[in-house]
Structure 1
Amino acid sequence: MADLEPVWLARKAKRAAGRPRQRKPGAGRPVKLLFTERLLMVLLYDRVYVPQEFVGFLFGVDKGTVSRGVQELGLCMAGVFRIPERQVRIDPDDLVAVFVDATEQPVNRPSRRQRRSYSGKKKRHTVKHQVVVTRKRKEPGGKQKVRIKAVSKAAKGRVHDKKMYDQSRLRIAPEVPKSGDSGYQGSNLRVPRKKPRNGALSDEEKRSNRRLARERIVAEHGIGKMKIWRIAADRYRNPPRRHTVMMKNVAGLHNRMYG
């Protein structure tokens, strides 16, 4: 994360330059936390997602300092990770295939228009994102690694996976195979064959579905590893407008750790 500090310092200098200075640089109350301590505080908050008052108690600061750190460093991380919403680029060490899946996270019940956020699948109010995953080329004796290539904007829990895929308008090279689960029936993704009404799948169709399931599981593993960051898994308590930035940052952290 060494590339994060210059971005944070630049944002801090830009913010200070926008106001008329009343005192010399360095004057005023000394900061309690160095950049590394502030970053550790934010990563701890994202990892365990406990109340900000408790995190502030651990680091000897108030809740406002934690809140500002989460917001400011969240924007800095977004500028460093740069997880796209639509453009999917295949790196030289990636296998040439992408997997699309959706993930949902519980949210507080809205005060208005509650049905728009209610997920029939989860039976609760949620916010959801579309995630695009690729596999890296496996090194001899190593584990299979995955990368999060794109994270869509936040959508209400009621939005269907296929509708979210259609609205996202992903930019993927035509020659790259694209796969999804049965929620993407009717799209241009490769999806499992459904059993016809009053019929049955052939043995070859069943084998094809099993092969696709083995390949597609990497998307679920990638999303599962993203959710070790509890801020992306537990009921979301922060302002809804920050949810997309948060999910992209979690994807960037996943890529730094596992990709």
Structure 2
Amino acid sequence: MSADVITELVAELGPLWHERHQAKLASRPRKRALGAGAKHRSVFVDRLLATFVNLRHATTHDVLACWFGVDRSTLTRAIAEVRPLPAERGCIVSPGVRLRTLAEVIDHLGVDGKTGIIDGTEIRVRRSAAGRKDRDRFISGKNKQNAVKTMVVADEDGRVLFCSPTKPGNWADITHARQFGLVKLLTGGPAVEILADAGYQGLGAQTGGRLITPPHRKFRRNAPDRYEEIHERQRKAHSSRRIRVEHGIAHLKNWRTLARHLGRREHMSDTVQAVAGLLSHQQIGDLASARQV
């Protein structure tokens, strides 16, 4: 991220963090005199930078604590306080326009007349402790690994517009989409085209054809002449349009904390949405540079 983006984030998130910190202190039953209590050894800028380094490179808290000259517990608490702030900002698509919910994404695509692309992606996480009742919920049926799943929505340019809160790895993509109300938004919202892979087959009929999946294979045996050739051509045409969301997911996974998360699973929703929001700044800059060439 550029220095201008970091300056903008400090100016926006700093007052919000200070307000929440003061509200937390005021909510305690035991009141302290003004100016009393422990003094922060790290200013907000250091806390923000430590959070960004942790998200981008998955640097351990021990190493970050040495870099910033604080105790490990202090840095862990600082990251936990700062991480939700960029997650709540949403994804920026243009100056002054941010998308925070799936409904806002559908409205944005409908107004601009753009095609959206949707896909689910898995993020490997640590295995649940032995004896927990929900231990098997995080085992992915696809990769047979412990993972959480998020739903990613991108536009035709491959820009990430939305990342949903994470769900356990045993959730199917179509269940994930239904849980977040995609069917209701497409049937009751603006006319918009959404491309998806075969994992969402069945939603096309429920959304009036607004969600488009790869063509079904009509003939398992004794197919007419040239049917296989036509079906393969249609499938590749759909895949070539949908590949942009895979590029967007790849940019998300370039942030090491999403390549394999070694922290607590409870923080994964904030982590994914924070990375998506920060990535949107970079994608806007790259898209603007490409259009100027």
Q: 1:102 aligns with which of 82, 101, 120?
A: 120
Match of 1:165 in 2: 177
CA drift at 1:50: 2.5
- Distance in 2, Cα, partners of 1:92 & 1:257: 24
Match of 1:180 in 2: 196
Query: Do the aligned partners of 2:87 and 2:275 also contact (CA within 8 Å) in 1?
Result: no
Match of 1:141 in 2: none
- Distance in 1, Cα, partners of 2:139 & 2:47: 36
Distance 1:183 1:32, change over 3 A: same
Match of 1:131 in 2: 152
Match of 1:120 in 2: 141
C-alpha RMSD of the superposition = 2.3
- Distance in 2, Cα, partners of 1:93 & 1:65: 45
TM-score by length of 2: 0.76
Query: Do the aligned partners of 1:182 and 1:192 also contact (CA within 8 Å) in 2?
Result: yes
- Distance in 1, Cα, partners of 2:38 & 2:179: 49
Unaligned runs of 5+ in 2: 1-8, 91-98, 205-210, 285-293
Query: Residue by residue, what CA displacement relative to the aligned partner does 1:1-56 show, whole Å, maximum 9, x if unpaired?
Result: 1312121122122223324543332x455422222121111100111113211111
Does the residue aligned with 2:83 lie in a helix, a strand or coil?
helix
Match of 2:253 in 1: 227
Identity of aligned residues (%): 28
Q: How many residues align?
A: 248
CA drift at 1:255: 0.9
User: Which structure 2 residues correspond to residues 4-153 of structure 1 after superposition, within 5 A?
Assistant: 4-19=13-28, 20-25=30-35, 27-81=36-90, 83-85=100-102, 87-88=104-105, 89-90=107-108, 96-110=114-128, 111=130, 112=132, 113-135=134-156, 144=157, 146-153=158-165
Q: For residue 101 of structure 2, what is the amino acid of its counterpart?
A: P
Distance 1:39 1:169, change over 3 A: same
Distance 1:45 1:241, change over 3 A: same
Query: Do the aligned partners of 1:78 and 1:245 also contact (CA within 8 Å) in 2?
Result: yes
TM-score by length of 1: 0.85
- Distance in 2, Cα, partners of 1:93 & 1:177: 12
Distance 1:18 1:165, change over 3 A: same
Query: Residue by residue, what CA displacement relative to the aligned partner does 1:72-97 show, whole Å, maximum 9, x if unpaired?
Result: 11122233337325542316995511
Unaligned runs of 5+ in 1: 136-143
Q: For residue 183 of structure 1, what is the amino acid of its counterpart?
A: G
Query: Do the aligned partners of 1:87 and 1:150 also contact (CA within 8 Å) in 2?
Result: no
Query: Do the aligned partners of 1:154 and 1:243 also contact (CA within 8 Å) in 2?
Result: yes
- Distance in 1, Cα, partners of 2:197 & 2:109: 24
Query: Do the aligned partners of 1:128 and 1:157 also contact (CA within 8 Å) in 2?
Result: yes
Q: Name the one with the larger helix percent.
A: 2
Does the residue aligned with 2:78 lie in a helix, a strand or coil?
helix
Distance 1:225 1:24, change over 3 A: same
Query: Do the aligned partners of 2:110 and 2:190 also contact (CA within 8 Å) in 1?
Result: no
Query: Do the aligned partners of 1:107 and 1:127 also contact (CA within 8 Å) in 2?
Result: yes
